[in-house]
Amino acid sequence: MKLKEEHIQQIAKVMARRAVRDGLVQGKEPLEERISRVIFKVIQADMAKEKAIDQEAHDLLKEHIKDIEAHSISYHKMFQRVKEKLARERGLIL
């Protein structure tokens, strides 16, 4: 999933606000801001991992593009399958 940085920040702020409000986390102030930064970094890291998997899947498919075209296989469907397999192998949930 591709998100703009400002959307990630908004998601992180909402998640942090709810976590503090519901008493799921405790600590020194400004707690909500600190938690928001951590959540933001985690989401960014996961998105970077997904981007790397996307690139690897494209690279793998490039190596077999003639076979894919020769057998009239949908590149998009094959990309999704390869991406899911790579993610599963790396323990990443998409």
Res. 94 pLDDT band, cuts 50 70 90: confident
Please give the radius of gyration of the chain, using alpha carbons only, rounded to the nearest integer.
19
20-65 pLDDT tens trace: 999 999 888 889 999 999 999 999 999 999 999 999 999 999 999 9
Residue 2: predicted pLDDT: 81
Please count the structural domains in the chain. 1
Domain range for 56: 5-90
**Residue written as tokens 């793998």?**
60
* Distance between CA atoms of residues 64 and 79, nearest Å: 12
**pTM score of the predicted model:** 0.78
Residue 1: predicted pLDDT: 66
